[in-house]
Structure 1
């Protein structure tokens, strides 16, 4: 239970149910994106022999944004929109440079 308490503190949530729901959303989004990657790569004709860098670029351009959208969608469906909206803004913020201390 110590892990659950750490997560509650880190995420700023109150109940164990919220932890369970949030973990379920991450799980659902992860499983969905695995199937989406298979479908998208097959649709685009990506094969095993294609270079790793090519597949990595496709992953970043297609699958990473889809994962974030799925987190928002599942999070909204399960009543945790605020948590996942904040998570989305933090994850996107890592890729967008900002001026510090202007």
Structure 2
């Protein structure tokens, strides 16, 4: 845990615990919310067969990104998650989203 705190620039175990909770809530919430979005968009397992899961995972990705920052904000960790988000998207080649 010490190494993770240093890597992320955290000052306390409490802050680390909050960040883990935010990651857990965000992952669960994005997976849970993807089902109603699929229904709303008319994406059904019966119509797509084995493509349903990859399409649903692609749908979860933007939901996760938005929720990560929003839930991080609610837990008082906006600065950490905003920096984390930018770094993650840049590493995926999507850094152009943040350029002015």
Q: So what's the TM-score if we normalise by structure 1?
A: 0.78
User: Residue deviations 1:33-73, cap 9 Å, x none?
Assistant: 1211222223323215624345414422x210110110100
The residue that corresponds to 2:4 in the other structure is 7
The residue that corresponds to 2:57 in the other structure is 59
The residue that corresponds to 2:81 in the other structure is 84
After superposition, where does 1:13-24 map in structure 2 within 5 Å? 13-24=10-21
CA contact (8 A) 2:34 2:56 kept: no
When the two structures are aligned, how many residues end up with a matched partner?
A: 94
Q: So what's the TM-score if we normalise by structure 2?
A: 0.79
Q: Which runs of 5+ in 2 are unaligned?
A: none
Distance 2:33 2:47 in 1: 20
Q: Which runs of 5+ in 1 are unaligned?
A: none
Of 86, 89, 96, which aligns to 2:94? 96
Write 1 or 2 for the structure with the bigger share of helix: 2
The residue that corresponds to 1:28 in the other structure is 25
RMSD (CA atoms) = 2.1
